[in-house]
Amino acid sequence: MPVGTAFHQRTLALCESLNYKEWSGYYTVGSYEMTHEHEYNAIRNSSALIDISPLYKYRVTGPDAGKLVNRVITRDINKVAVNQVIYCCWCDPEGHVIDDGTITRLGENEYRWTAADPSLRWFGQNALGLDVRIEDISEKVAALALQGPTSAKLLNAVAKADISKLKYFRVAHGTIAGVAVDISRTGYTGDLGYEVWMNWADAVKVFDELMSKGIPFDIHPAGMVALDIARIEAGLILIEVDYTSSKRALIDEQKYTPGEIGLGKLVDLKKENFVGRVALAQEEKKGGPARSLVGLEINWSEVEALYEKIGMAPQVPGTASRVAVPVYRGGRQVGKATSTTWSPTLKRMIALASVSRESAAVGSTLSMELTVEAARKTVAAKIVPLPFFNPLRKTAAVSL
């Protein structure tokens, strides 16, 4: 049975819909109101506060901390400065992705590592022979994502920290409501945003300060339904939806290399040896990954025509779909769309898809299955560059 996060006493009181989901053994809000529109609009137009405490979090310290991190991930941690964050993935010996997450370098030999799945055993197995300590701090550190165009101004108003100079994927240290916090310019929405990390026991104080002082900045608590739409617009993948962890895969088709899920740029074959390096080097010699992650823009005129034919207005769900559907080229299936949504900002129906390398050229037109009144149809879907939504404010210097 799920349990509440550090913020549960506050989020429960705010959750009018009682729409909850389970995330890593915790109750997490699906949407606070009966519909998610205000929460999504907060992400894109003001400030949204999202409880991300269910993330698995690990603290890696000791003389060989860097060696362990480099042994596991595909990127080179030696290139990462103190108070810098990186997004990374880690693989099994066959080069298939186990998980993806972020690593924050908090000191010369101190790292905070986030993961979607439990990873303590895997990290421990790879730490043999190293002078390193791995601590599961998942229940000691709480976290909030503050995302949206007014998030920087709000943080500047409540935090005793230098927000104005905080660059993308960097960390600042300070206090909010007297509580020590780490503030990273990171997030899962593809917008200007921050993640605030704090001691679990003091978390409510930070939540209350952000919510009370956030009223002039039009702050709204936001749940997973709105976040799912935003992350698809941002072209961000989700484990067990857009790819399957190799530890959970039942067949080879369910296993993905980094290049097959859009993470090929996160693989540094020139660095010291890491788990999966040999297999990934062989993949590169063979011409690259067999599949590609692509963005699809569905032809809305064709969607309207299918519904018009049966005398109905288009019936497209307002929430994102995580149900995989076939994608075709010339009548032959070449992949599947894994995450699909109507984008309120772009006013388009979009999808993330995994397709064969030969069918992945930007500008190509494929066909995607669409069910209309229980009848399987197809509509044209054009391959477009990812991310679908990429505002300048996400990485630009903030104006306070």
pLDDT in tens, 261-306: 999 999 999 998 999 999 999 999 999 999 999 999 999 999 999 9
Contacts (Cβ under 8 Å, ≥6 apart) of 265: none
**Distant-in-sequence, close-in-space partners of 304: CB < 8 Å, separation ≥ 6:** 314
Closest Cα to residue 338, out of 368, 380, 365? 368
The C-alpha R_g of the chain, in whole angstroms, comes to 21
Non-local CB neighbours of 282 within 8 Å, separated by 6+ positions = 95
Q: What is the pLDDT of residue 29?
A: 98
The single residue listed with the structure tokens 């005398």 is: 311
From the list 285, 177, 213, 259, the residue with the least C-alpha distance to 49 is: 213
Confidence of residue 1 (pLDDT cuts 50, 70, 90): confident
DSSP state of 77: G
Q: Which two tokens stand for residue 306?
A: 């299918």
- Predicted pLDDT at 26: 97
First to last CA, the chain: 43
Output the pLDDT for position 92. Answer: 98
**Phi, psi values for residue 172, rounded to 5°:** -120, 155
Q: What is the mean pLDDT of residues 363-375?
A: 96
Are the C-beta atoms of residues 10 and 27 closer than 8 Å to each other? Answer: no
Q: pLDDT averaged over the chain?
A: 97
Structure tokens at 145: 């994502």
- Find the mean pLDDT for residues 103-119: 97
Return the percentage of the chain with pLDDT > 70, whole number: 100
pLDDT at residue 352 in the model: 98
For residue 85, what pLDDT is reported? Answer: 98
> How would you list the strands of the sheet with 97-107, edge to edge?
84-91, 97-107, 110-115, 56-61, 133-136
pLDDT for 28 beyond 90: yes
Q: Examine the pLDDT at 323 and tell me if it is beyond 90.
A: yes
**CB-based burial label for 242 (10 Å; 0-12, 13-18, 19+):** buried
Spatial neighbors of 30 by CB under 8 A, at least 6 apart, are 17, 19, 20, 21, 36, 223, 224, 225
Task: Tell me what pLDDT residue 354 has.
Answer: 98
**pTM of the complete model:** 0.97
Of 262, 349, 232, nearest to 297 by C-alpha is 349
**Cβ–Cβ under 8 Å, residues 149 and 190:** no
Nearest 10 degrees: Cα torsion 159, 165, 171, 173: -40
Give yes or no for residue 316 having a pLDDT over 90. Answer: no
pLDDT attached to residue 210: 98
Q: Provide the percentage of residues in the chain whose pLDDT is more than 90.
A: 98
Residues in CB range of 61: below 8 A, 6 or more apart: 109, 110, 111, 132, 133, 135
DSSP conformational letter for 239? B
What's the confidence (pLDDT) of residue 317?
Answer: 84
Per-residue pLDDT tens for 33-74?
999 999 999 999 999 999 999 999 999 999 999 999 999 999
pLDDT tens digits for 66-86?
A: 999 999 999 999 999 999 999
Can you tell me the mean pLDDT for 195-207? 98
Asked if pLDDT for residue 315 goes beyond 90, the answer is no
In tens, the pLDDT along 11-27 reads 999 999 999 999 999 99
**pLDDT tens digits for 220-259?**
999 999 999 999 999 999 999 999 999 999 999 999 999 9
